[in-house]
Amino acid sequence: MGKDKRVMVRFDESTFMALNEVAIKMKTNLSVVIRAFCRKQISDITDTNGNLMIHDKERPESKQQSAIDDS
C-alpha cells in the first residue's frame, strides 16, 4: 500500500489528557491509541464490504458544511 500517511490532528486539553491516560494504562504510544480508536470508529460505520453505512439524510448538517452551501 506504500508509505503510511501522516496527519496532524488537534485535540482539546481534556481529550488529549484522556487519550494520554489510555496510552499510559495500556503501556503503549499515544499514536497507537489514536489509530485504534480511528479503526474502531471506521469499522462501526462500514459494512463487511467496506462500504460506508452513513447516509446524508441521517447526519445532521455541520456548521462548516452549511457555511459552504450558503455561498
CA distance 14 to 70: 33
Q: Which residues contact 57 (CB under 8 A, 6 or more apart)?
A: none
Task: Print pLDDT tens along the chain (71 aa).
Answer: 578 889 999 999 999 999 999 999 999 999 999 999 999 999 999 999 989 998 765 556 655 555 555 43
Neighbours of 46 (CB within 10 A): 13
CA dihedral 32, 7, 5, 34 (to 10 degrees): 20
Is the pTM higher than 0.85? no
